[in-house]
Amino acid sequence: MSGKSINETKVDRFKRVASRRTQNVLDAMRKLGNCSNKGIYNYTDEEVMKIFHAIEQELKRVKILFTTKSKNNTFSL
């Protein structure tokens, strides 16, 4: 199923979009893993740590988006 249909529910839309985006992330991570080949690439431990730190920080940020109950941080009385 590609594209949004008129009768698509929010659940169906989430499943469609999230599945595709998750697969894109997994594919990108596999491609990044290809960079570990020392026969083709040269890198330092510090560079690898920077890569994984950035990935871990973004993963934490996205997890918070899914687990935070209140997405509205505005003040009200």
Please report, for the chain, the start and end positions of each structural domain, with discontinuous segments joined by +.
Answer: 10-67
- In 1-77, where does DSSP find H-type helix? 10-34, 45-67
Write out pLDDT tens, residues 1-25.
Answer: 556 678 999 999 999 999 999 999 9
Say how far apart CA 24 and CA 18 lie, in whole Å: 10
Q: What percent of the chain has pLDDT over 70?
A: 90
pLDDT digits (tens, 9 = 90+) for 23-33: 999 999 999 99
